[in-house]
Structures are given as C-alpha cells and as structure tokens.
Structure 1
Amino acid sequence: MEPASLENLRVLYHSADFIVVNKHWDIRIDSKMWYEKQTVQSQLRHRFPELADPGTYYGFRFCHQLDFSTSGALCVALNKAAAGRAYRCFKERLVTKAYLALVRGLVESDRMTLNFAIGKNTSEGKTHMMCIEGVEGCENPKPCQTELLVLEYGSYNGDPVTKVLLQPLTGRTHQLRVHCSAIGHPIVGDFTYSLRADSAPYRMMLHAYLLRIPLEQEPIQVTAPDPFLPSLDASWVPQQTVLSLEGALQGLLECGRDREEESPEQDIGTGEKKHAPLESEEQIAQCQQWLCEWALD
C-alpha cells in the first residue's frame, strides 16, 4: 500500500448495504478537527459522494473501529437497517477478525492465549494509553482475550522479529498492542507502547487481515492483502515458516462457524430474539449509546 491520499482508497467489497475498504496506516477513520482533511470518511465522501448520509455526523456509519496506526479491512454500513444488522453480529460476538503483525523478538510458543484484563492508564503522561490489570494507575480493567499464532520467524532491519496472526476474542481499546507488549513482544513500530522508543519503522506493523460478518442474507468475508511480505518491504526478512497463513485461517474460520451455530440468542439475519437473557444495565447503556451515535431508529 502506498501512503494515503483522497484518491487512492481501495475497496475490498461493495454492495447496496455495505462497503469494506482497506484502510491505510496512519489515518483516522473520522475526525472533528477542522485541520484533519485526510480521513477514511473524507476518502469515502470523495469517492462516493452520492452514498453519504446527511442524517449522520460523519456521513458514513462505521461498523467497528481501527486505530490510527492500524491498516486493513474496515466495514461501513450504507443505511440504518444494514448498520443495525451488523451491530447485532458484533454485539453477539459472532464476527471473526484476524490481524497480522510483526512483533519484536522470537515468540517461543507456537500458540498462546492471552488473558490480560485491560483498563485505562491514569498515570501522569500516559492517560492516552491502556494498561493491563496490576499496573499502577490501571483504572477499571475488564476481561480481555486474544489468540496468538506464530506464522514465521525472521528479522526486521536486522533485529529478530516474529510474524503472528492475532485473533481478538474481545474488543477493548488497543487490545492487541497492549497484549503483545504485556508478553514482552511489542508490535514493531508501536511508538506509543514502546514509550516512544520504536520510531525507526515507517509504520506500526499491525494489519486487519480478515473480517467475517455472518449476516444471514449477505454474509461478508473479506481479506485485506498482506502488507508484510519481503517483496513489499525489504526490511522484513523471513527465515523460518512455522504455520502457513492459509492453514491458520482455515482453523480460525472453522471455530468462528462453530460459534455461529452454537449461538441460540437471535436470528442474525432478521435480528429476532430467540431465547435471549436479560441484558445488564451496562449492556443496555452501550446499546443505546451506539444507536444514538449512528442515528438508528
């Protein structure tokens, strides 16, 4: 991927209800700051002015979030009904997401389950960061789980690194970055969680590779091309393959389909509840906030 511009938005999937784009690194999804002219929202408005909805603040309904520094698959709903259907899949944790990353050092275990609870860091100078439970100043940590699979060992600019596939099973802010840092393998180029030390790479090496939203009438499954290849970045030199990306994805998708089949709570195509338990006050508040934000009926 070349650096972002208004003109070079890459569309991975487009239907009457959804667009999935390959978000560039170092670009915000949207912004209220007048001086930030280049965002995914502005790219969409430039490319598809006829699809912008004046009934929303940003003109487009983003179904989920990606960090400023993260690239990859980002889904946008084009109407209220479609946004509602996608929201239900995210809410019921039926969406399968997988990220590619280069992390510092050689990860010893081929497969790891990371279970660090994550909260907001309230320490002076770190209030824009998240942290794991037990760290001084960690406020309101919540359970968090990430699956890590080792794909390749190699080097980046001569330093040992590991290429991994990360599957977030929860959706906390900066989850993958915090979890990788917590096990001593921060993501290459993560300026924030290296405490401003890792500034040499041209980008943070985290990419949303796979997105699967199991909508009954329109199942969406897209991959955003792998940017961490030696043919695209000569600084990355693979030396040993542990697991192919195709093999890792196959197992991940099978687990995702199992979750879909086991979910008894609602018909994800119609949104009708089957045997849904009562929601907690926190869940209700989150739902109402989401509905207000996207101007849903």
Structure 2
Amino acid sequence: MTIADQPANSREEPPVPLLYRDAMMLVIDKPAGLPIHRGPQAKRRVIPVLTDHLDALRFGLPRRPEAAHRLDKDTSGCLVLGRHPRAMTELNQLFRDGRIGKSYWAIVEGGPAEDEGLIDLALGKQSPERGWWMKVDPAGLPSQTRYTVRGRSAGLAWLELEPLTGRTHQLRVHCAASGWPMLGDEIYGSAPREGGPGLQLHARAITVPLYRKRDPVHVEAPPPDHMHEALRSCGWA
C-alpha cells in the first residue's frame, strides 16, 4: 500500500513533525533553518540542530535514528531517517543507486521560458575557501535537474524540481545559472543576509522502494508557512 501524508501514531508529540514511521525508517518534515548536523557555523553559535532531537525519535528502539541523506539548513520538507544499522545500509544503497524519487517545490525569480525541461550543467566547488558553495564547472561532476512550471505570477514562477543527481546545492545553483535564482537565496540569489523572505525551497515528496513485496513508500510534506504567500500568487490553493 502506498502511504502519502500519513502521520505516525505516537503517545507523545515528536520534537519535529513526523510524516511516516515503520520498523525500518522515519520520514520527518524538517523545518527550515534547522541544520542536520552541528557543522562549523553551528559550533560557533549555540543553535539547535537535528541531532539534538534524535533520542526523542527512537520510539522504543535502543539506537537513535540517523539521517539517510542531506537537506540544506534552510530547506524544509521530507527527510528520511534510518532506524537501525540494517535500515541505514539498505537506504544508503537505494540513494547511491538513484532509486529514491525526490520532488521539490521552489519559487524562483523570473522563470523559464518553457513550461518543462532539463537542466544539464556539471557542478564543482567554487573554491577551498568557500566550503560547500558550488558553481557551474564543465570539469565538475555531471548534474541534471528536471523541472516543471506549476504556476506563474508577476516576476515569479512556482517550479517542481526533480534532481536526477544529488550534488550539493544542485537545485539552487542550477536555477541561478539558468537565470532564475530561487527567491530568498542568500548565496546564489539576490536575497539580503538579514530580513529576507527565507529560502523558497521545499522537499515536497519522497518515494522509497524499500520493501520488495510492497509498493514504494510515498510521503509528502505540506509547504512551510514562509512559502504560502508566493505559492498562492502562483496559483497554489
């Protein structure tokens, strides 16, 4: 049975929104602004990170769950957690093999001329000093993103994005390099460092073919509050 938007039952409210739970994995709705790990920026300031909450997501198991993939700090939405080592091994293999379907919603400035298409631009690191910041680089790693325009308004477009590869900041760099940066992107767009609208990128849905004799698990996350205004202007209801 395919599972979409199915909340997991639990006696206590989880520390982050829980979208799905079974014996192998959890899918949470990661809030925008919550880093997954305590990286260099989180170490310099006392800010919460996802790993602070993992003990509360054990749900009776002896081990804490682990994130099976990454989402940027400012990206909200579906994040898969493996509940034990065997689950992590299987999930990691599915991600490596490209068998997990991922769909993102984004609001971009301007927008593509065509209503659908493929962005095929190799990506590499900007420089050692820039850490994870990326750029289009013909000598970099092959990177592909499929896009569909879901709606438009004056100066904005609502895109559904499907990353066919999993490079760091891939969706943000691909959109910016195509001439339509994401609204609220402080690195690759025009958003100010302070007081901006927040990054308009949301991991809307994920499809995980984890079980051989069952349909893939499909989970969707509702868009975050800070994207509602722009989404509505582009036709979302």
- What is the TM-score with the length of structure 1 in the denominator? 0.66
Contact 1:41 1:60 in 2 (8 A): no
Which of 81, 84, 91 is equivalent to 1:79?
84
Partner of 2:161: 166
1:100–1:166 CA contact under 8 A, matched in 2: yes
Task: Verify the 8 A CA contact 2:144 2:165 in the aligned structure 1.
Answer: yes
Asked if the contact 2:183–2:197 (Cα under 8 Å) also holds between the matched residues in 1, the reply is no
8 Å contact 1:20–1:74 — kept in the other structure?
Answer: yes
Gaps of 5+ in 1: 1-5, 54-58, 135-139, 246-297
Offset at residue 204 of structure 1 (A): 0.1
| Number of aligned positions between the proteins | 220
Alignment of 1:90-129 (within 5 A): 90-122=95-127, 126-129=130-133
| Local SS of the residue matching 1:88 | helix
Structure number with the bigger relative contact order (C-alpha 8 A, sep ≥ 6) is 2
Q: Is the Cα contact below 8 Å between 1:189 and 1:199 reproduced in 2?
A: no
Bigger Cα Rg: 1
SS at match of 2:233: strand
Query: Which amino acid is the alignment partner of residue 186 of structure 2?
Result: F
After superposition, the Cα gap between the structure-2 partners of 1:7 and 1:123, relative to the gap in structure 1 and judged at 3 Å, is same
In the TM superposition, what whole-angstrom CA distance separates every residue of 1:263-286 from its partner, at most 9, and x where no partner exists?
A: xxxxxxxxxxxxxxxxxxxxxxxx
Distance 1:185 1:23 in 2: 25
Alignment of 1:4-83 (within 5 A): 8-31=15-38, 33=43, 35-48=45-58, 50-51=60-61, 53=63, 59-83=64-88
Pairing of 1:114-263 with structure 2 (within 5 A): 114-122=119-127, 126-133=130-137, 141-155=140-154, 160-194=155-189, 197=192, 200-217=195-212, 219-227=216-224, 233-234=228-229, 236-238=231-233
Cα 1:184–1:123, aligned 2, differ >3 Å: closer, same or farther?
farther
SS at match of 1:97: strand
What is the deviation of 1:110?
A: 0.3
User: Unaligned 5+ residue runs, structure 2?
Assistant: 1-12
SS at match of 1:207: strand
Residue in structure 1 matched with residue 8 of structure 2 by the alignment: none
SS at match of 1:142: coil
TM-score, normalised relative to structure 2: 0.82
Seen in structure 2, the aligned counterparts of structure 1 residues 111 and 234 have a Cα distance that, compared at 3 Å, is closer
Q: Match of 1:141, SS?
A: coil
- Secondary structure of 1:9's counterpart equals coil
Segments of 4+ moved more than 3 angstroms: 34-37, 46-52, 195-202, 232-237
